Structures are given as structure tokens and as C-alpha cells.
């Protein structure tokens, strides 16, 4: 009887640890590449401001209640039967989680670049 009472507790503990997982911080250069990729490549379907288009909005408000682990799985594996492709060929799983976390916080803008001085 004690064993069966402990099993749900252990499962709940493991689930909370899995949900608490955070993505490793990419290097500054890789983070800039990921921001550009999301703004340009994802923006082609989700809107250049990520407010929606062919795909749904990816704004902080639109993603309320969607756990980063769920979002990272969608980013990494895509959604079969929809236009959402898997990005696993371009990303590591930790990078997909970093993107999901950034989306949940309000995704950063691409830095403005200045034209070369003449």
C-alpha cells in the first residue's frame, strides 16, 4: 500500500523537475543568429512582428499558458499535417528551448545594423 501511495508523489516530483528545466544560454553570436532566424524565417509565416500570419501569433500574450517545453517540442519537431516544419536540422534541442523561453518573455528585436561609413 505504501508503494502505491509513493508512486504518484514520485511522478509529480519528476514532472515538476522536468518543467523547471531551463535552456542553456547560447553564446552572444549564436543568440544573435537565433534572433535573426526567428525574426526572418519564423516571421515569414508568423508575421514579421510575430503577431500572426499563416501561423499563429507568437507574442508573449498569445503564448500565455503554453509551457516552454511544449513550445520547444513544436519548434524542434514541427506539427505533422500542418505548415509548421521541424527545425531540428537547424537547431539543437537546447536552442529550441531557449527560443521558446524568449518567446514566452517577449522575443527580442534584431539589433539595428549601421551602414559602413564612407
Q: What is the pLDDT of residues 65-88, one digit of tens each?
A: 999 999 999 999 999 999 999 999
Q: Per-residue pLDDT averaged across 35-43, rounded?
A: 95
**Is residue 87 in some structural domain?**
yes
Average pLDDT of span 94-101: 97
The predicted model gives 93-103 an average pLDDT of 97
What is the span of the domain harbouring residue 89?
27-105
Residue 81 lies in a domain: yes
Query: Which 3 state secondary structure label does DSSP give 82?
Result: coil
Q: Is residue 51 part of a domain?
A: yes
CA angle 99, 91, 13 (to 5 degrees): 60
The answer to the question of residue 12 being in a domain is: no
Contact 110, 35 (CB under 8 A): yes
CA atoms within 13 A on the CB side of 101: 15
Domain count, the chain: 1
CATH (domain of 52): 1.10.760.10
- Indicate the pTM of the whole model: 0.76
Q: Which residue has the cell 499563416?
A: 54
The answer to the question of residue 36 being in a domain is yes
Residue 22 sits at the vertex; the CA angle it makes with 38 and 14, to the nearest 5 degrees, is 135
- Give the mean model confidence (pLDDT) for residues 31-55: 95
- Three-class SS of residue 74? helix
Amino acid at each position: 500500500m505504501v508503494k502505491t501511495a509513493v508512486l504518484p508523489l514520485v511522478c509529480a516530483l519528476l514532472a515538476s523537475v522536468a518543467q523547471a528545466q531551463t535552456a542553456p544560454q547560447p553564446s552572444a553570436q549564436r543568440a544573435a543568429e537565433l534572433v535573426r532566424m526567428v525574426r526572418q524565417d519564423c516571421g515569414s509565416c508568423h508575421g514579421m512582428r510575430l503577431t500572426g500570419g499563416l501561423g499563429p501569433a507568437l507574442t508573449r500574450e498569445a503564448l500565455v499558458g503554453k509551457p516552454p517545453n511544449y513550445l520547444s517540442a513544436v519548434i524542434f519537431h514541427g506539427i505533422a499535417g500542418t505548415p509548421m516544419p521541424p527545425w531540428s536540422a537547424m537547431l539543437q534541442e537546447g536552442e529550441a528551448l531557449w527560443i521558446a523561453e524568449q518567446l514566452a518573455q517577449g522575443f527580442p528585436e534584431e539589433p539595428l545594423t549601421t551602414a559602413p561609413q564612407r
